[in-house]
Amino acid sequence: MEQLKRLNDRIVSRVNANLSEFEFDTENFVSNSLEYDKMLKFYAFYGITSQHPLYFDFKNSNIAGSYFLGKCHVGRSSIYKSDIRGDELKRKGDAINGVENLPLVEDELISIKDSLLYKTLVHSNSHNPESPEEFGIRNTVSAHYSNIHGSTLEGCFLGPFATVDMMNLHSCIVGNFSYVQAGELFHRKINPGTVWIRNSNFEFKYNFKKEILDSFVGVNETYQPRGIIYDFVKEREQEYEKLFDVMNLKPIETPDSSAVNRYAVVRGNTKIGENVLVSQRAFIDNSIIGHGSNAQENSYIINSSLAGLNVTTHGGKLIYSNIGLETYIGFNAFLNGKPEASIDIGDGCIVMPHTIINPDVSIEIPENNLIWGYISSKEDLESHIIPLDELAEIRDSLKIGKMAFTGNGSVFIDVFQKRIKQVLLANGALFANGENCGHAQDGQNISYNIIQPYTTGTLQGLYPSIRIKP
Amino acid sequence: MEQLKRLNDRIVSRVNANLSEFEFDTENFVSNSLEYDKMLKFYAFYGITSQHPLYFDFKNSNIAGSYFLGKCHVGRSSIYKSDIRGDELKRKGDAINGVENLPLVEDELISIKDSLLYKTLVHSNSHNPESPEEFGIRNTVSAHYSNIHGSTLEGCFLGPFATVDMMNLHSCIVGNFSYVQAGELFHRKINPGTVWIRNSNFEFKYNFKKEILDSFVGVNETYQPRGIIYDFVKEREQEYEKLFDVMNLKPIETPDSSAVNRYAVVRGNTKIGENVLVSQRAFIDNSIIGHGSNAQENSYIINSSLAGLNVTTHGGKLIYSNIGLETYIGFNAFLNGKPEASIDIGDGCIVMPHTIINPDVSIEIPENNLIWGYISSKEDLESHIIPLDELAEIRDSLKIGKMAFTGNGSVFIDVFQKRIKQVLLANGALFANGENCGHAQDGQNISYNIIQPYTTGTLQGLYPSIRIKP
DSSP state of B298: T
- Asked if residue A114 lies in contact with residue A138, where contact means CB atoms within 8 angstroms, the answer is yes
The helix (run of H) or strand (run of E) holding residue B390 is helix B388-391
Q: Give the rounded percent of residues in chain A with a pLDDT score beyond 90.
A: 79
Whole-number pLDDT of residue A85: 85
Nearest to A452 among B246, B449, B456 (CB): B449
Note whether residue A126 is domain-resident. yes
The helix (run of H) or strand (run of E) holding residue B237 is helix B237-245
Note whether residue A338 is domain-resident. yes
Mean pLDDT of all residues belonging to chain A = 93
Chain A neighbors of B448, CB-CB under 8 A: 450, 452
A68-81 pLDDT, tens per residue?
999 999 999 999 88
Nearest-Cα distance to chain B for A277, in Å, is: 20
Q: Across residues B375-385, what is the average pLDDT?
A: 97
Contacts of A16 (CB under 8 A, 6+ apart): A24, A25, A26, A27
- Asked if residue A233 lies in contact with residue A121, where contact means CB atoms within 8 angstroms, the answer is no
Chain A neighbors of B238, CB-CB under 8 A: none
Chain A neighbors of B48, CB-CB under 8 A: 452-455, 464
Residues A89 and A113 in one domain: yes
User: CA dihedral defined by B298, B304, B308, B312, rounded to 10 degrees?
Assistant: -20
Q: Which amino acid is at A430?
A: L
Chain A residues in contact with chain B using a Cβ-Cβ cutoff of 8 Å: 43, 45, 48-51, 54, 244-248, 445-460, 464-470
**A70: closest CA among A109, A31, A35?**
A109
What's the CATH number where A461 sits? Answer: 2.160.10.10
Q: Across residues B368-387, what is the average pLDDT?
A: 97
Whole-number pLDDT of residue B65: 87
Whole-number pLDDT of residue B400: 98
Residue B204 in this model has a pLDDT that exceeds 70: yes
Chain A neighbors of B460, CB-CB under 8 A: 50
Q: Which of A411-415, B105-109, B238-242 has the highest mean pLDDT?
A: A411-415
Note whether residue A226 is domain-resident. yes
Whole-number pLDDT of residue A444: 66
* pLDDT: which is higher, A236 or B440: A236
Whole-angstrom Cα Rg for chain A = 21
User: How much helix, strand and coil, in percent to the nearest 5, is found in chain A?
Assistant: 20, 35, 45
Cβ count near A155 (within 10 Å): 22
Note whether residue A401 is domain-resident. no
B120-155 pLDDT, tens per residue?
889 888 888 788 899 999 999 999 999 999 999 999
Contact A464 B464 (CB under 8 A): no
| Alpha carbon distance A272, A293 (integer Å) | 9
Note whether residue A68 is domain-resident. yes
Whole-number pLDDT of residue B244: 85
ipTM over 0.90: no
The helix (run of H) or strand (run of E) holding residue A58 is strand A55-59
Residue A187 in this model has a pLDDT that exceeds 70: yes
- Asked if residue B277 lies in contact with residue B294, where contact means CB atoms within 8 angstroms, the answer is yes
| Alpha carbon distance A255, A276 (integer Å) | 9
Strand ranges in B151-282 using DSSP code E only, listed in sequence order: 152-154, 157-158, 163-165, 168-170, 173-174, 179-181, 184-186, 189-190, 194-198, 202-207, 218-219, 225-226, 259-260, 265-267, 271-272, 277-278
Cβ count near A371 (within 10 Å): 21
Question: Which of A3, A38, A48, A448 to substitute to test the interface with B, most B CBs within 10 Å?
Answer: A48
- Asked if residue B169 lies in contact with residue B138, where contact means CB atoms within 8 angstroms, the answer is no
Whole-number pLDDT of residue A443: 63
Nearest-Cα distance to chain B for A449, in Å, is: 4
Q: How would you classify the pairing of strands B194-198 and B202-207?
A: antiparallel
Nearest to B456 among A43, A50, A455 (CB): A50
- For residue A326, give its domain range: 237-395+424-442
Residues A136 and A176 in one domain: yes
Nearest to A465 among B246, B447, B470 (CB): B470
A17-51 pLDDT, tens per residue?
999 999 889 999 999 988 888 888 889 999 999 88
Residues B292 and B258 in one domain: yes
| Alpha helical stretches, state H, A324-364 | none
Residues B19 and B126 in one domain: yes
Longest CA–CA span in chain B (Å) reads 66
Residues B436 and B299 in one domain: yes
Nearest-Cα distance to chain A for B243, in Å, is: 10
Residues B457 and B313 in one domain: no
Nearest to B447 among A45, A452, A467 (CB): A452
Chain B neighbors of A246, CB-CB under 8 A: 245-247
Q: Which amino acid is at B64?
A: A
Residue of B nearest to A445 (CA): B455
Contact A245 B247 (CB under 8 A): yes
Contacts of B234 (CB under 8 A, 6+ apart): none
DSSP per-residue string spanning A190-259: EPTTEEEEE-SSEEEEEE--HHHHHHHHEE-TT--EESHHHHHHHHTHHHHHHHHHBSSPPPPP--TT-E
Q: Across residues B433-451, what is the average pLDDT?
A: 85
Note whether residue A337 is domain-resident. yes
A81-95 pLDDT, tens per residue?
888 988 889 999 988
Cβ count near A251 (within 10 Å): 12
A52-62 pLDDT, tens per residue?
899 999 999 99
Residue B106 backbone phi and psi in degrees, to 5 = -150, 170
Residue B101 in this model has a pLDDT that exceeds 80: no
Residues A188 and A260 in one domain: no
Residues B436 and B454 in one domain: no
Q: Across residues B319-344, what is the average pLDDT?
A: 98
Whole-number pLDDT of residue B88: 86
Mean pLDDT of all residues belonging to chain B = 93
Confidence of residue B98 (pLDDT cuts 50, 70, 90): low
Contact A464 B48 (CB under 8 A): yes
DSSP per-residue string spanning B397-427: EEEETTEEEEE-HHHHHHHHHHHHHHHHHHT
Q: Chain-centre distance of CA A251, in angstroms?
A: 25
**B402: closest CA among B193, B208, B163?**
B208
Confidence of residue A189 (pLDDT cuts 50, 70, 90): very high
Whole-angstrom Cα Rg for chain B = 21
Contact B464 A470 (CB under 8 A): yes
Residues A20 and A151 in one domain: yes
Lowest mean pLDDT among A239-243, A301-305, A376-380: A239-243
Cβ count near B133 (within 10 Å): 16
Whole-number pLDDT of residue B126: 86
Nearest to A50 among B49, B246, B454 (CB): B454
B65-75 pLDDT, tens per residue?
888 999 999 99
Nearest-Cα distance to chain A for B250, in Å, is: 11
Residues A84 and A113 in one domain: yes
The dihedral region occupied by A332, where left means phi > 0, alpha psi between -120 and 50, and beta the remainder, is: left
Residue of A nearest to B456 (CA): A50
Chain A neighbors of B45, CB-CB under 8 A: 450
Whole-number pLDDT of residue B51: 85
Residues A191 and A338 in one domain: no
- A:B CB pairs within 8 Å: 107
Note whether residue A301 is domain-resident. yes
Q: Across residues A334-362, what is the average pLDDT?
A: 98
Residue A97 in this model has a pLDDT that exceeds 80: no
Residue A238 backbone phi and psi in degrees, to 5 = -75, -15
Number of domains in chain A: 2
How far apart, in Å, do the first and last CA atoms of chain B sit?
Answer: 32
Residues B386 and B416 in one domain: yes
Contact A466 B466 (CB under 8 A): yes
Contact A456 B465 (CB under 8 A): no
